[in-house]
Amino acid sequence: MPISKPISKPISKPISQGQFSRLQTRLLLSYLLVIATTLGAFCTAVYAIVARDLNQQLNASLHQIAGTSASTLEIIQHEYEEVTTEDEYQGYIPKNADGTFGPISLSQLMDKYRVYSIPAFVPNPLISDDQGVEWFDSKQQLMVREGNFFTTQSLPKIVAPKGQILEEGNIRSFILPVYAGAKSEQLLGYVRATKSMDLLNAELRRFQQGLMAGVAIVSGLVTMGGFWLTRESLKPILRSVEQLKQFTSDASHELRSPLTAIRASIAVMQSHPERVHPADVEKLKAIASASAQMSQLVDDLLLLARLDRQAPDRAVWRQIALDEILEDLVDLYSDRAESANLNLQSQLIPNLEVYADPSELSRLFTNLLANALQYTPSGGTVIVSLQRNRTHALVRIEDTGIGINSDQLPHIFDRFWRADQARSQHHGGSGLGLAIAKTIAQTHGGDITVQSQLSQGSCFQVKIPLPGPPRSPKTRGGA
């Protein structure tokens, strides 16, 4: 059947069951992506808020400990000076190698009133194991400390008047300068409160694990709900498409009988020209041509409806030699090519077989070859070639015809779509030839691609799988 090249406005492609499945999958993935993004943003925000609150609680605890301890700095400093300067406490505090006094605990400092030799260090039971407090003089010399958890960092040379937070690994400290009065600038010393961040990090890890478990549960529920929602939302569309396919099939069947009657009547009238008024001869020819085109259109619509609605009938599939089918087609169209002053060539490798429906493959290549001959001007060349790669047979039909605009290439396999240039130069054709060819190729697990340049020609390549392990054909429709 002669077919036309790509109308300015393409007709929407039919949607097959496979395309509905892919559409449902894309909708589901889009839905899940939105939900995942929302959940991710929500969890990140919640985690950030909880982490901020826990850090603020830890900082508030350090501020409280440091503030409470700062009120005792002046007393501790006085007592420490006594045990380091008065003779009666000589030897109470051991000295460092450089001659400076080392730090002692608050309990040891207060025990000077009961004993004159430094007692063994006993942790204060009122201070937890993950915190500690240190008192420094104005020269940043450590005097007294209490607790079980301290940092090895020395005090910074400059400390903000309102104190500052420092971190070292899993240790967080708050350093608070202490002044003689509320408005005095006389620095008495420093207090450093230290806490371990292990508990904070453990709580954040538990919270994070809880969030992840919640997200996993919600994601599972959302996935199941999304799958059900997308399936239900597409059901009305699927019913509409099926009704449209049924209408196309039914309308085509109903049109067949009156068209057959019209063509039979025209044939009878044309077989008795003596009964036809001379003025009506051309009218009869026009009616005969129009009825033939209508019959071809109905046949094409029925074929597409059958390909869309039914699984391929593999009972008629068999091993066929592609070179023989193509050679027969070239021989069949050689006279037409010669009459149109076209050079029709074939470059076929022998004995290349595929597993397919012979009649459908013949229809596929007939459409492409007729198309190439129709749109190649006089003196042009059409080449039919057959090659193979590792997994597919490759059939190319090249021409030096009018070509196709690049912006029209995505639409050439749409049904009833033809380019304005083609329509202005050629007549006939239903606009379904390329759509039928692509549908047949996909039915056989293959595909059709096209390369074309305007005024230089086109090349259609058909890929058909070679015989091998059982293959699932591509979903039909979408041609």
Nearest to 413 by CA among 377, 445, 385, 371: 371
How far apart are alpha carbons 145 and 136 in whole angstroms?
9
pLDDT at 392: 93
pLDDT at 125: 45
Rounded (10°) CA dihedral 222, 224, 228, 231: 100
pLDDT at 470: 45
Q: 234 φ, ψ to 5°?
A: -90, -10
Q: How far is CA 338 from CA 68, 331, 347, 363, 413, in A?
A: 109, 11, 18, 22, 28
Report which residue type is found at 189.
G
How far apart are alpha carbons 351 and 250 in whole angstroms?
41
Exposure class string for 96-119: b at 16+ Cβ within 10 A, else e = eeeeebebbbbebbebbeeeeebe
How many CB atoms are closer than 10 A to CB 25? 12
How far apart are alpha carbons 368 and 460 in whole angstroms?
8
How far apart are alpha carbons 462 and 479 in whole angstroms?
14
How far apart are alpha carbons 7 and 2 in whole angstroms?
16
pLDDT averaged per 10 residues in sequence order, the chain, 479 residues: 41 55 82 88 92 93 90 86 75 69 74 54 55 90 86 88 89 91 80 91 92 89 84 75 63 68 79 79 80 70 66 80 92 92 93 90 91 92 93 94 86 71 48 83 90 91 81 40
Q: Is residue 418 within 8 Å of 438, Cβ to Cβ?
A: no
How many CB atoms are closer than 10 A to CB 412? 23
Q: How far is CA 477 from CA 20, 114, 314, in A?
A: 10, 99, 18
Q: Which two tokens stand for residue 113?
A: 């009133």
pTM recorded for the entire structure: 0.50
pLDDT at 235: 76
pLDDT at 251: 64
pLDDT at 459: 94
Write down the residue that tokens 């069949």 correspond to. 332
Q: Quick one: 179 exposed, middle or buried, by C-beta within 10 A (0-12, 13-18, 19+)? A: middle
How many CB atoms are closer than 10 A to CB 241? 19
pLDDT at 25: 83
98: Cα within 13 Å, side-chain hemisphere: 2
